[in-house]
């Protein structure tokens, strides 16, 4: 399922804006961006060989590990458009997968690792 880049970016923004205010207010020094594909170094960093296998990526220092974090560059969540589109057959599936991926990466920003995320209901 293909959606325009503009629509995909809008879906990512909607996923972030749909978070409860208490969560959004705690997100600190964080940028959320859209890229078409993960770079080879992203795949290598995550131990993945297939560019379709990486839907999102959090790069930074989780809130639970920060101290003396003044004047640091923002952490970055990258949502990868084409791998998500390839996974989905309908627009509704794209919407759901974007939201799920955004939530997953924001959870990393809050300090949750993959093991903890596997225990949650939404993954």
Mean pLDDT of 38-45: 92
Q: What is the mean pLDDT of the chain?
A: 90
Whether 30 and 24 have beta carbons less than 8 Å apart is answered as: no
* Predicted pLDDT at 123: 46
pLDDT at 122 over 70: no
pLDDT at 2 over 80: yes
* Predicted pLDDT at 114: 73
Give the model's confidence band at 112: pLDDT under 50 very low, under 70 low, under 90 confident, else very high.
Answer: confident
Whether 79 and 56 have beta carbons less than 8 Å apart is answered as: yes
* Predicted pLDDT at 116: 66
Per-residue CA distances from 36 to 25, 51, 73, 81, 122 (Å) = 28, 10, 23, 5, 24
* Predicted pLDDT at 120: 67
Mean pLDDT of 35-44: 94
State residue 96 phi and psi, 5-degree precision.
Answer: -65, -40
Domains in the chain: ranges and CATH: 5-114 (3.30.2010.20)
Instruction: Report the Cα 106 to chain-centroid distance in Å.
Output: 6
By the 10 Å C-beta count (0-12 exposed, 13-18 middle, 19+ buried), 67 is classed as exposed
For the chain, give the percent of residues with pLDDT over 70: 91
């Amino acid at each position: 399922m293909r959606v325009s880049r503009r629509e995909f970016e809008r879906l990512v923004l909607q996923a972030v804006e749909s978070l409860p205010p208490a969560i959004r207010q705690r997100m600190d020094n964080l940028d959320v961006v859209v890229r078409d594909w993960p770079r080879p170094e992203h795949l290598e960093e995550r131990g993945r060989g297939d560019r379709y296998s990486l839907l999102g990526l959090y790069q930074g220092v989780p809130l639970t590990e920060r101290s003396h974090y003044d004047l640091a560059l923002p952490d970055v969540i990258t949502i990868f458009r084409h791998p998500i589109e390839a996974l989905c057959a309908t627009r509704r599936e794209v919407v759901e997968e974007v939201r799920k991926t955004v939530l997953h990466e924001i959870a990393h920003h809050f300090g949750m690792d993959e093991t903890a995320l596997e225990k949650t209901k939404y993954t």
